[in-house]
Chains A and B, each alone.
Chain A
Amino acid sequence: MIMTAAEAQTHCMTLDGVEVQFVEGETIYDVARRYHKDIPTLCYDERLEPFGGCRMCVVQVEGMRSPVASCTMPAAPDMVVQTQTHEIDSHRKTLLELLISENREVDVDPLRGYASQELATLVDAYDARTGRFEGGQSGATRDDDDNPFILRDYDLCISCYRCVRVCAEHEGDYAISIMNRGFATQITTEFNGLLKDSSCTFCGQCVQTCPTGALGDKKAMRHTDTPGEIEKTRTICPYCGVGCAVDLMTKGETIVGLQPAMDGPANEGALCVKGQFAYDFIQHPDRLKAPMVRGDDGELHETDWDTALDRAADGLKRVLEQHGRHSVYGVASGRAPCEAAYSMQKFIRAGFGTNYIDNCSRA
């Protein structure tokens, strides 16, 4: 039988008493996930390099003295792994008790961010609200950072560094890092300043990966007290041609926020500042819903499309007659699809006879 390269590298290991297969390069956690094992994590984001910081994913490996972090331990042939034992559960519970001992609160509003419920969910699953390690606090909330998008509530930070890693590994922005150590550890920007003075692009990826709500979506949080259950509707961001999948969050008829779709084929959870935060226009009172033309009184008045288009055509013709074909310059919207962009350039080139045509995506 001829084997493919992938098959040739397949090995066997024992996972919770059952023989399973894996390929070289997989971690224990990767294998366990494929076999639907419920291993808890906090510092893990599948888009990022495994970090091994939170130790929630510890498993017992036969022959190893201490439990190992499954997210960073490569699977090895004939390894015998237990993902859930009394001892492992007890370790995880203790870790959670330690983590929340430094936090002002555990329960945060889900509008803070996509992953914001991870800590609270695990704390409940492991019955870890015991107050066993009350004492020192770490992380100082940056109330002074009054940017309109990202809440920096570091009292709730557990130093998993998902924010720092997503900013570096996924976005390539390197806007934030980790300063000091021990209890003084703090997520920081260059020289511990404000986000607006750093290389932050306000893409909001740090917010969405934060498992505790230490980073929060300030715009969504305005709706914390809006009554109603949060409902998510999958849609596509309308801003540019990439086609990022997003979940629009509503309470009743009100749009309360937007989160990236982690399984979006074009974006895999990523968004830019516009896609993440610039959705206000949808329900803004100033939003245009019908064409408007300026009347003799100098004010804009609602009208129908035929009237408006005739009016625009008259104006453009007049400009062309009086000032020549190069007096017209067209800028197509980056939000328009290819077909519309094509029509636009055709309209300018063939209609007016000028090459003065561009697209706002180039700006």
Chain B
Amino acid sequence: MTTPSNQDLLERWVDQPAPLLPLLHALHERDGHLSEDALRFVGTALRIPIADLYGTVTFYHHFSREPGGRDRPRVCTGPVCSGRGAHRVIEELEAAGASPQSMPCPGRCDQPVPVLRGDAVQTGASMEALTGGPAPLPPPALPGVTECVFAGIREPDRARLAGYREGGGYAGLERAVRDLDPGGVLDLIDDSGLAGRGGAGFPTGRKWRAVREATGDPKTVVCNADEGEPGCFKDRVLMDYDPHAVLEGMAIAAYAAGASRGFIYLRYEYPDTLGVLERAIAEATEEGLLGDSILGTDFTFQVWVRRGAGAYICGEETSLLNSLEGKHPFPRNRPPFPVTHGYEDLPTVVNNVETLAAASHILANGAEWYRGLGMGDHAGTKLISLSGDIQRPGNYEVPFGLPLQTLLTEWAGGPADGRTVQAVTMAGLSGGFLAGDDLDVILRSRVVREVFPVSYRHATADGTLGGRCRA
């Protein structure tokens, strides 16, 4: 196979929406780094001032400017991996002459320590132990617990369209476009109480409705798959094992909000997920579940995956939108909000992976069903990524209203033998720590912010539980 020229790669991407990141990735992959020549070519071709482009490229830590830089090993030195041998792995790689560099959490806290080389990810607590492999499936649900987004995830072949449909997949989308009008979908999502699962907890139905009512076309649905909070690895498992649930949720959101284009903004650190999503999009498009005339109606919705390049801030929705547009990924000032001024300054839904996947299940099973999944007065469920000094790290789908202690001891097996939980950090690094009596909290959604002591007021129930234990 001949090496593609700059012009070949440009022609592949120039007429696509949001072309900058994929074009840069193509050149990065071809050359092993982003050369001055390549950047000058991109700047001229896409009419980006070269100083701007240089600044933007250097903002992302996985774009390398040094020859060979793309394949240099990057080792996670996040909060969990640092305690699990990250620095030993770095020393061993250095001793082997590999010139490793550290990277922020790449979302594999249940498999410390990840090492990224180009598009290959291996994990292990020492250089010798490094192995590849798929993301661990969530542990089986406890008896009597009904799950939502994890309900079908352990079924074999769920990631393929045939497997997904066999398990009842795309019934939600069919119901939406055949039995309901967009207003009916919005009412149903409102009734379910579904709120943003990325952390901010904004009511999903209200967001979709705001986009529907906003003026400006075309409208866009963006799936925020830039899961970057240290300790968070829940979206990866959803996309790897249940990608059609995410696509179905996007299509439902697009139908309700009146959008015709969609993007999945995927974090750089999930290279295998990229292939899974692209295959799923191709399958769904082939079957008339995405693209033109979806399910034989006049509803049209096209989805593209765009891969980030390593920038924590791009998990923030307005930075993400700037990144998609090829701009310097600084957050935007709000107002205006993305629902009126989002991608290309047009009305845009930005939802987390988990939120969109939940919408598929809600459309299929109803709002009442979803509300009933929570405990007591609490509605719905939440994925929690649990890692650190705990017996069974991994992803858990908990009903809202579950006591944190129940999750730690009964679901995850408690701390290692002879140890006690000293502290738990919630919702990533910005979530603060829980310790002592504060550990006796109930995992709930928006209430959490209001009842927590001030120092924990940003803690929501969607983050990591990086328990540090002591003897």
The answer to whether A and B assemble together is yes
Selected interface stretch from A186-194, A214-222, A353-361: A186-194
Interface contact A72-B49, CB-CB below 8 Å: no
What CA separation (Å) do A181 and B56 show in the bound complex?
10
- On whether the beta carbons of A74 and B335 are closer than 8 Å, the reply is yes
Task: Return chain B residues, CB-CB under 8 Å to A51.
Answer: 333
The reply on A175 being an interface residue by CB < 8 A is: yes
B58 within 8 A of A: yes
Q: Is B55 an interface residue (CB 8 A)?
A: yes
Given contacts A174-B49, A191-B36, contact A179 B333 (CB under 8 A): no
Q: Which residue of B lies closest to A76 (CB)?
A: B335
Query: Does B54 have its Cβ within 8 Å of any Cβ on chain A?
Result: yes
Contact A188 B52 (CB under 8 A): no
B41 part of interface (Cβ distance < 8 Å): no
Q: What is the distance, in angstroms, from B407's C-beta to the closest C-beta of chain A? A: 28
CA distance A74 to B335 in the complex (A): 8
Asked if B328 lies at the interface with its beta carbon under 8 angstroms from chain A, I say yes
In the complex, which of the residues B50, B59, B313, B328 contacts A190, with contact meaning CB atoms closer than 8 Å? B50
Per-position 1/0 for B47-87, Cβ under 8 A of A: 00111101110110000000000000000000000000000
**Whole-angstrom distance between the Cβ of A306 and the nearest chain B Cβ:** 56
Q: Which residues from chain B contact A176 at a C-beta distance below 8 Å? A: 51
Is A189's CB under 8 angstroms from B51's CB?
A: yes
Nearest Cβ distance between residue A179 and chain B, in whole angstroms? 4
* A180→B51 contact, CB < 8 A: no
Q: Are B51 and A190 in contact (CB under 8 A)?
A: yes
CB proximity of B34 to chain A, nearest CB, Å: 11
- Chain B residues with Cβ below 8 Å from A198 are 51
Contact A50 B333 (CB under 8 A): yes
Among B36, B52, B311, which residue has its beta carbon within 8 angstroms of that of A177? B52
B333 to A188, Cβ gap below 8 A?
A: no
Would you call A188 and B51 a contact (CB within 8 A)? yes
The interface centre, meaning the residue of A72, A175, A181 with most chain B CB atoms within 10 A of its CB, is A181
Point out which of A50, A51, A179 has the most chain B C-beta atoms below 10 A from its C-beta.
A179
Q: Is A269 an interface residue (CB 8 A)?
A: no
Given A179-B58, A179-B59, A180-B59, residue A72 in contact with residue B333 (CB < 8 A): yes
Taking the complex as formed, is A10 at the interface, i.e. its CB lies under 8 A from any CB of chain B?
A: no
> Which chain B residues lie closer than 8 Å to A168 at the CB level?
49, 52
A1 to B36, CA, bound (A): 65
**Which residue of chain B has its CB nearest to the CB of A178?**
B55
Whole-angstrom distance between the Cβ of B199 and the nearest chain A Cβ? 16
Bound complex: CA of A131 vs CA of B23, how far in Å? Answer: 46
Assess A179 versus B49: contact at CB under 8 Å? Given A50-B333, A74-B335, A191-B36.
no
* A180 vs B49: C-alpha distance when bound (angstroms): 17
Shortest Cβ distance from A172 into B: residue: B49
Residues of the B chain whose Cβ atoms lie less than 8 Å from the Cβ of A72: 333
Closest to A180 in B: B58
* Interface membership of chain B positions 24-56, coded 1 if the CB is closer than 8 angstroms to chain A and 0 otherwise: 000000000000100100000000011110111
Tell me the bound Cα distance from A50 to B332 in angstroms.
11
The interface centre, meaning the residue of B50, B55, B313 with most chain A CB atoms within 10 A of its CB, is: B55
Contact B335 A188 (CB under 8 A): no
- Which of B36, B52, B311 contacts A174, CB < 8 Å? B52
**Given B36, B39, B55, which contacts A188 in the complex, CB threshold below 8 Å?**
B55
The reply to whether A199 and B51 contact each other, CB–CB distance below 8 Å, is: yes
A:185-242 near B, CB below 8 Å: 188-192, 198-199
Residues of chain A contacted by B55 (CB below 8 angstroms) = 177-179, 188
Smallest CB separation, B286 vs chain A (Å): 40
CB within 8 Å of A: which B424-454 residues: none
How distant is the Cα of A230 from the Cα of B54 in the complex, in angstroms?
A: 40
Q: What is the CA–CA distance of A85 and B311 in the complex, to the nearest angstrom? A: 36
Residue contact A178 to B333, C-beta cutoff 8 Å? no
When chains A and B are docked, how far (Å) is the Cα of A178 from the Cα of B58? 9
Report which residue of B39, B51, B328, B333 has the largest number of chain A beta carbons within 10 angstroms of its beta carbon.
Answer: B51
B43 to chain A, nearest CB (A): 8
- Distance (whole angstroms) from the CB of B11 to the closest CB of chain A: 25
Q: A52-B333, A74-B335, A174-B49 are in contact. Are A192 and B59 (CB under 8 A)?
A: no
Interface-central residue, A50, A190, A199, by most chain B CB under 10 Å: A190
- Measured in the bound complex, the distance between the Cα atoms of B328 and A51 in whole Å is 14
Q: Is the CB of A177 within 8 A of B328?
A: yes
Most buried by A among B36, B50, B333: B333
12 additional A-B residue pairs with CB within 8 Å, beyond A50-B333, A168-B49, A180-B58: A73-B335, A174-B49, A177-B56, A177-B328, A178-B59, A180-B59, A181-B59, A188-B58, A189-B51, A191-B36, A192-B54, A199-B50
Instruction: Provide a sorted-by-A list of 9 A–B residue pairs whose CB atoms are within 8 angstroms.
Output: A51-B333, A73-B335, A74-B335, A168-B49, A174-B52, A177-B52, A177-B54, A192-B54, A199-B51
